Structure 1
Amino acid sequence: MTDEQPDHGADQQERVAVIVLAAGQGTRMNSDLPKVLHPLGGVPLVGHALAAAGRLEPQRIVVVAGHGAEAVRAAVAKLDPDAQVVLQDQQLGTGHAVAQALPALDGFSGKVIVLYGDTPFIGDDTLAALTSHPADVVVLGFEAADPGRYGRLVTGPRGLERIVEWKDADAATRAIRLCNSGVIAADAGLLRDLVGRLGNDNAAGEYYLTDVVGLARDAGRSAAVVTCDESETLGINTRAELAAAESAFQTRARALLLDDGVTMTAPDTVFLALDTVVGRDAVIGPNVVFGPGVTVESGARIEAFCHLEGCHISQGASVGPFARLRPGAELGGDVHVGNFVEIKNSVLDEGVKVGHLTYLGDADVGEGTNIGAGTVTCNYDGVMKHRTRIGARVFIGSDTMLVAPVSVGDEAMTASGSVITEDVADGGLAIGRARQVTKPGLARRMMAALRQKKKERG
C-alpha cells in the first residue's frame, strides 16, 4: 500500500494509516514465542489486527516490533508484505512505541488509527466509527461488566475530558464503568505533535499514549469516545485468555458459515481459520480442521475427520473421510478424494477419482483419471522435489509407484503393483514388476518347520 494508490472515491481527509503495536514480550504467556505470534484461528494474533487494518484500505500500515522482532518481522512479511515493520529497542510505553512508528508515516496526511497486535476482535463497524468521527482525538471505550483495573474514561459536556489510570483514580472515578481499550485515532499531524510532547514523569518512567487526550484538551482540541461491545476489546495476556479467545473466534466463525448457507452436521467439532472461505450449500462433516488458506466452493462436500490447509476445492468435489489436503492442492469440479488420501502441491482436473490409501505430491492429473489404491508419486530424491504428470482418462492400477520425474500419457494404464520409472505414451499399458515365481508346497513346509522350532524352544 502506498500513498499513490487510488482513494476509492474517498475524500482526502478520510485517508487512513494504521499503527499496530506488537512489541510486548507477554511474560504471562510463559513462552519463548512473542505474544503476538501465538496462533488464533490458524494465524498469529497480529494477523487479526493486520486483517482488520487491511479492510480499512489504508495507505500505510506500520507494525512496531520489539521482543522477538525478527520473528515478528518474518510473520508480518507473510501476512501482509506491504506492511512496514519498525523496531522499538526499549519498551518505554505505548507513547514511545507510537513515536517509533511516526517516521514511517512521513508525508502522510489523514487519520491514524493505533491498534494492538494482541487485541484480535475489534469489528469493522467500530473501526469505521473511529475513522469517520470528527473529533481531533477519538478513543475507543467500552462498558465493562467488571471494570477492575482498567483505565477510566472521564467524559463531560465537551466530550472526553481525560483518561485516568486505575492506580491514579479516586473512588468516584473508579466507579465509572466506561473503560479505555487503548485504541486511539487522531489526525496524523496532530498525533505527531502530541506524541512529541509526551513526558515520562510517572512511577514506571514510561511514555503513555493515553496522555495525548489531556495534551489535546489543554491545546483546545476536541476529544471524544466511540464505544463498542466489551467482547471486541478482549486482549490476550495468558494462555487461558488465548484459549477463551479461540473458543470465541470459532463460535463466531461457525455461526457466520451457517448463516451463509453452509451445512455443518456437528458445528462444534469443526475448526476454522481466519481466512476460511466456504460456499453456499457446501456440506462439512464432523471433526474437520481448516488451516489457513482454504477455499471450498458451493456444493462441495468435506466428510468427517479431514484436515485441510492451503487448498482449493471446486464445486461438486468431495473429500474424505480421513483425508488430508496440504498447501498447493487444487481439486477441480466433481473430483473425489477418498479416505486416507494425502494430496500436496498437486492439481487434479475435473472428475478425477482418488479413492483411498494414496499419496499425490507434486503431481498434475488430467480429467477423468482414476487413481488406484496405494498409489504413490515418489516425488523426493533426498535433495530435490520432482513432478509427476498424469494425463486424462488414465487408469493407475493399485499399488503403483510413480518415480518422478515421470509422465503417463492420456488414456494410458499402469498394471497393479508396478514401479514406473519411464514415461508412458498415450494409450500405453506399463507393467513394471518382477515375474511371479511359485514354489509348490514350500509354504506348508516352512510353516511346519517354524512351528517345530517354536515348540522346541518351550
Structure 2
Amino acid sequence: MRSKLPKMLHMVLGRPMVAWSVRAAQQLGARDIVVVTGHGAAQVEEALAPLGVRFARQEQQLGTGHAFLQAAHLLQGGADVLLLYGDSPMLPVSTLRSLLDAHRSGHNALTVLTGELPDATGYGRIIRGAGGEVLKIVEEKAATPQERLVREFNSGVYVMDEAAPELARQIGHDNPAGEYYVTDLLALYRQSGARVAAFRIDDPGEVMGANDRLQLAELESIMRARINEAHMRAGVTLQDPATTLIEDTVTIAPDSLLEPGVILRGQTRLGEGVVIGAYSVVTDCVLEDGVRVKPHSVLEGSVLGRASDVGPFARLRAGTVLGEGVHIGNFVETKNARLEQGVKAGHLSYLGDVQVGQETNIGAGTIVANFDGLNKHQTRIGAGVFIGSNSTLISPRVIGDGAFVAGGSTLNGDVPEGAMAIARGQQRNIGNWSRRYWLGMGERVAQKLPWLAGWLEREPQPQQAETERVER
C-alpha cells in the first residue's frame, strides 16, 4: 500500500477493510469474534474496539496456521469455527450462510470455500480424488507442475468443527517457507478419519482482496456497483450510477431520485419521493417523504421533515431539525438548530444553536452570533417573526411571537411579542464629501474612472454642509 496506515484499515465504502469481515461475522450471529493483529496492531485494535471484538496479537508473522493458533485459545469452544480474512471485504453474507448450511447438512468436519480461475497462479490448489473428494490443498510454492494447472483455488475461508483449535496445535512447518499453514488442517482432519469437503462459489470475485491502491479502487468500484444495483432494483432512480456512492448502511424508499455525483453515507435514511441534487453529500441524516435537496449541498446529522427543501449550496450541520415544509436556501448554514413548520431562510445566513417557531422568515444575511469566545449560547425565535436582512442576533436572545426585527439591526436585548426592534446607528449625510475625496486622488481618477472624472467637472449641486439627520 506504500502507506503508514496498516492495510487492514484502508477504507472501502466508508469502512476499514477488516471491519467488513467483522460485520459479516456479526450478521451471521457469531458468539466469539477474535481479530488476529500483527503489523500495526495498536492502530487496528483501536479502530475496531468500538465493534466489541477481542484481539489476539501475532508478534511474529509465522504463517496462517500460526495466526490461527494465536486466536484459538480465546474461543469458548463447543461451536463451529469460521475463519475469515481481513482483506476480503467483498464476500457476501449470503455466500457465507450457504457455506455454513452446506457444512452442516453434509456433516462435514471441515469445509473450504473454493472457486475457479482460468489461471490460479498465486493461490493454493484444491486437489481432488477420482470421486471428487478433497484430498489436499497444495500451496503454490510446493505444487508440482501438474498441480499448478489445477484451476480450482483455495480462498482461505474455512468452516471447521469444534476440534479445530486442538488439531491446529499439530501443524508443523516442514515446508519451503518454514511457515505454519492453516491449510494443513485439512490433512489433519483426514488423518483423523473426519469428513472434509469443498464449497465452490460461482463468482471468484467474491473473495477478491486488495494488495495495493489500484486493487483497493477496483474493490470499491465493484462493491459500489453492487449496492447501487440493489437500490435501483428496489425502485430508486440513479441518474448516473457510475458517479453515485451509497454506503451499505444507507436505506432508501422507492421513488426517490439521486442526481449525478451524490454521496450518501452512514445511517442515512431517505423516505419516498426524495430528490437529492447533483454533487450533494448526505451523512447520518433522516430525510422524510418528499424532501428535496438541491445541488451542492452538504448535510450531516440532521433530520429533514416532510416536503422540506434545502439548497443549493446549503450546509446543515449536526443537530439540525427541520419541520414540515421548511425552506433553506442557498449559502445558508445551520448547526444545532430546530426550525418549525414553514420557516423560511432563503439566503446567506448562519443559524447556530437556535430554535425558530413556525412560519418565521429569516432575511438574507442574518447571523445568530452564538459563540462568545468560550461558550455557545441558545437563541429562541418565536412563531411568525420577521427578521430583516443583514441582522445580527447576539445570543442568548429571546424574540417573541409575531415580532419584527428591522433590517441591519444588531440585537443585544430581547424583543417582546409583537414588538418591532430597531438597533442601528442613525444615518448621516455629509455634503460634498465624495467630491473632495475624489479630487484629492488627482490624475489617477481620470485614467481609471473616466465617468467619475466627467462628473467631477460638473457644477456641484447645492448641499448642506452640515450633517443631515432624518428620523422616521
- TM normalised by structure 1 equals 0.86
Matched residue type, 2:115: F
Matched residue type, 2:238: M
User: How many angstroms apart in 2 are the aligned matches of 1:395 and 1:366?
Assistant: 11
User: Cα deviations across residues 212-248 of structure 1 (Å, max 9, x unaligned)?
Assistant: 0011111111111011121101011111111111211
Q: Is the 8 A contact 2:73 2:165 kept in 1?
A: no
User: How many angstroms apart in 2 are the aligned matches of 1:102 and 1:444?
Assistant: 89
Matched residue type, 1:275: T
Of 255, 273, 276, which residue of structure 1 is paired with 2:247? Answer: 273
Which residue of 1 is the match for residue 461 of structure 2? Answer: none
Relative contact order, CA 8 A, sep 6+: which one is greater? 1
User: Cα deviations across residues 68-117 of structure 1 (Å, max 9, x unaligned)?
Assistant: 22221232234x2x3223322222211222222223322x4221111111
User: How many angstroms apart in 2 are the aligned matches of 1:224 and 1:300?
Assistant: 49
Which residue of 2 is the match for residue 34 of structure 1? Answer: 6
Q: 1:206 to 1:443 in 2, by over 3 A?
A: farther
User: How many angstroms apart in 1 are the aligned matches of 2:9 and 2:99?
Assistant: 26
Whether 1:413 and 2:413 are equivalent positions in the alignment is no
Aligned to 1:192, the other structure's residue is in SS state helix
User: How many angstroms apart in 2 are the aligned matches of 1:419 and 1:374?
Assistant: 12
Q: How does 1:275-424 map to 2 (within 5 A)?
A: 275-326=249-300, 328-345=301-318, 346-377=320-351, 379=352, 387-404=353-370, 405=377, 406-421=379-394, 422-424=397-399
Which residue of 1 is the match for residue 120 of structure 2? Answer: 147
Contiguous gaps of at least 5 residues in structure 2: 371-376, 411-423, 449-472
Bigger radius of gyration among the two = 2
Once the two structures are TM-superposed, the CA of residue 401 in structure 1 deviates from its matched residue by: 0.6
Q: Is the 8 A contact 1:43 1:274 kept in 2?
A: no
Whether 1:53 and 2:25 are equivalent positions in the alignment is yes
Number of residue pairs the alignment of both structures matches: 416
Q: How does 1:223-302 map to 2 (within 5 A)?
A: 223-228=196-201, 229-302=203-276
Once the two structures are TM-superposed, the CA of residue 353 in structure 1 deviates from its matched residue by: 0.7
User: How many angstroms apart in 1 are the aligned matches of 2:250 and 2:99?
Assistant: 27
Q: 1:245 to 1:415 in 2, by over 3 A?
A: same
User: How many angstroms apart in 2 are the aligned matches of 1:161 and 1:115?
Assistant: 22
Paired-residue identity, %: 32
Of 58, 65, 68, which residue of structure 1 is paired with 2:40? Answer: 68
User: How many angstroms apart in 1 are the aligned matches of 2:432 and 2:314?
Assistant: 38
User: How many angstroms apart in 2 are the aligned matches of 1:330 and 1:92?
Assistant: 50
Q: Is the 8 A contact 2:262 2:281 kept in 1?
A: yes
Which residue of 2 is the match for residue 16 of structure 1? Answer: none
Q: How does 1:5-24 map to 2 (within 5 A)?
A: none
Of 424, 427, 439, which residue of structure 2 is paired with 1:437? Answer: 427
Aligned to 2:84, the other structure's residue is in SS state strand
Q: Is the 8 A contact 1:369 1:394 kept in 2?
A: yes
Once the two structures are TM-superposed, the CA of residue 392 in structure 1 deviates from its matched residue by: 2.2
Q: Is the 8 A contact 1:142 1:178 kept in 2?
A: yes
Once the two structures are TM-superposed, the CA of residue 350 in structure 1 deviates from its matched residue by: 1.7
User: Cα deviations across residues 173-202 of structure 1 (Å, max 9, x unaligned)?
Assistant: 111111001001111x21111212112223
Which residue of 2 is the match for residue 452 of structure 1? Answer: 443
Of 426, 429, 446, which residue of structure 1 is paired with 2:401? Answer: 426
User: How many angstroms apart in 1 are the aligned matches of 2:207 and 2:109?
Assistant: 22
Aligned to 2:29, the other structure's residue is in SS state coil
Matched residue type, 2:112: V
User: How many angstroms apart in 1 are the aligned matches of 2:439 and 2:35?
Assistant: 74
Of 39, 62, 66, which residue of structure 2 is paired with 1:96? Answer: 66
Matched residue type, 1:62: V
User: How many angstroms apart in 1 are the aligned matches of 2:40 and 2:189?
Assistant: 34
Q: 1:104 to 1:411 in 2, by over 3 A?
A: farther
User: How many angstroms apart in 1 are the aligned matches of 2:426 and 2:312?
Assistant: 30
Once the two structures are TM-superposed, the CA of residue 449 in structure 1 deviates from its matched residue by: 4.7
Which residue of 2 is the match for residue 24 of structure 1? Answer: none
Which residue of 1 is the match for residue 89 of structure 2? Answer: 120
Aligned to 1:236, the other structure's residue is in SS state coil
Matched residue type, 2:401: D
User: How many angstroms apart in 2 are the aligned matches of 1:444 and 1:297?
Assistant: 61
Q: Is the 8 A contact 2:438 2:445 kept in 1?
A: no
Q: 1:262 to 1:442 in 2, by over 3 A?
A: farther
User: How many angstroms apart in 1 are the aligned matches of 2:247 and 2:439?
Assistant: 58
Aligned to 1:417, the other structure's residue is in SS state coil
Q: Is the 8 A contact 1:372 1:399 kept in 2?
A: no
Q: Is the 8 A contact 1:301 1:319 kept in 2?
A: yes
Once the two structures are TM-superposed, the CA of residue 413 in structure 1 deviates from its matched residue by: 2.6
Q: Is the 8 A contact 1:305 1:320 kept in 2?
A: no
Of 176, 189, 199, which residue of structure 1 is paired with 2:150? Answer: 176
Whether 1:136 and 2:109 are equivalent positions in the alignment is yes
Once the two structures are TM-superposed, the CA of residue 65 in structure 1 deviates from its matched residue by: 1.8
Q: 1:136 to 1:455 in 2, by over 3 A?
A: same
Which residue of 1 is the match for residue 463 of structure 2? Answer: none
Which residue of 1 is the match for residue 373 of structure 2? Answer: none
Q: Is the 8 A contact 1:424 1:430 kept in 2?
A: no
Once the two structures are TM-superposed, the CA of residue 446 in structure 1 deviates from its matched residue by: 4.2
Matched residue type, 1:399: G
Matched residue type, 2:97: A
Whether 1:203 and 2:176 are equivalent positions in the alignment is yes
User: How many angstroms apart in 2 are the aligned matches of 1:442 and 1:277?
Assistant: 63
Once the two structures are TM-superposed, the CA of residue 144 in structure 1 deviates from its matched residue by: 1.0
User: How many angstroms apart in 1 are the aligned matches of 2:438 and 2:282?
Assistant: 46
Which residue of 1 is the match for residue 166 of structure 2? Answer: 193
Which residue of 2 is the match for residue 15 of structure 1? Answer: none
Following superposition, which runs of at least 4 residues in structure 1 exceed 3 angstroms of deviation?
Answer: 438-457
Matched residue type, 2:32: R
